[in-house]
Amino acid sequence: MKKPIAWIMDTTGYVTEQFKSHPDVYIVPLNIHFGSEEFIDDGIDLSNDELYARMKSSKDFPKTSQPSAGKFAELYEKLKEEYECAIAVHASAKLSGTIASSMTGAEMTDFKVYTVDSLALSYGLSGLLERGLKLQDQGLSAEEITQRLEQETTDFRNFILIGNLSQLYKGGRMSGAQYYIGSVLKIKPIVQLTEKGELEPIDKVRSHKKALAYLLDRAKADHEQYGIDYFQIMHGHIPEQAEELKAELLKFAPEAEVLIGNLSSSLAVHAGEGTLAFMWRRPPASV
């Protein structure tokens, strides 16, 4: 007898220990390129420390590429022998072509894959997959789970403090004038993934202290209004700052659970070293 649901995610999401050990979760990595060199974003081919060291020393600006449709087809061909269907949760289609590759791979194999655009990255993606596993335990069907996850994409809240302006400049996401002014004035841009899955700048601050206060004010508001007690802090090679943010959060939410993790390599390539992302989910409208 086939198992009911296989779960698929890509490495723009935060790969938790639960996902690594779960027998029904399959992780499809993106690729990282330094010139002609290609690495798989699996934490083994290129560790987080090695990535940041290369980003500092390499003359080539790193790039990422989505897994091919053939890569997904290869996985789905194997899974259809073991599972009735799959639910694939992927990075926002506005930011990555991974979801398109996944859908094409499913079509190539004639395997039923329910595809969810998380409209997010990092833990925004991972949190949906965690939620889906819980809904499966509650007895919901794959179709019902997919519909629920799609409804809950708008519950995600995130505030991303960009730590390294030079990474944005090298990647062509900031003009030379913006980079110069930002560097001189020590401006720290804050961006956000919108409900449409797009990255948009929402504010600028002039000091680390003010940046933390900005993030904490928004967390405190949702904690008080919605009783949020689970937060995620993803960071670009700055664990001390992540711990500092956690300590400040626990001052007004002492019972809160706080997960701290590294940005995946495929995200760090774009966000740069020193980035700090603060995330949580508001309670879903339907439980």
Chain segment 99-155, per-residue pLDDT in tens: 999 999 999 999 999 999 999 999 999 999 999 999 999 999 999 999 999 999 999
Q: Kindly tell me if the per-residue pLDDT of 165 is higher than 60.
A: no
- Between 244 and 209, the higher pLDDT residue: 244
Q: What is the pLDDT of residue 287?
A: 47
Residue 217 — very low, low, confident or very high, per pLDDT cuts 50/70/90? very high
Residue 232 — very low, low, confident or very high, per pLDDT cuts 50/70/90? very high
Residue with token string 């020590």: 186
What residues does 63 pair with on adjacent strands? 33
Residues of the chain with CATH 3.30.1180.10: 156-281
- Fold for 156-281, please state it: Hypothetical Protein Tm841; Chain: A;domain 3 (3.30.1180)
| Radius of gyration for the alpha carbons in the chain, expressed in angstroms and rounded | 19
Residues of the chain with CATH 3.40.50.10170: 3-153
Task: Enter the tokens of residue 199.
Answer: 């990255």
- Residue (of 141, 47, 158) closest to 92 by Cα position: 158
Residues 166-189 pLDDT 10s: 555 454 444 443 433 344 345 677
Task: Enter the tokens of residue 42.
Answer: 């699996």
Residues 13-72 pLDDT 10s: 999 999 999 999 999 999 999 988 999 998 888 888 899 899 888 888 788 999 999 999
- CATH class for the region spanning 3-153: alpha beta
How are strands ordered across the β-sheet holding 188-193?
A: 199-205, 188-193, 156-161, 276-281, 230-235, 257-262
CB atoms inside a 10 Å sphere around CB 167: 23
Q: Which amino acid is at 61?
A: F
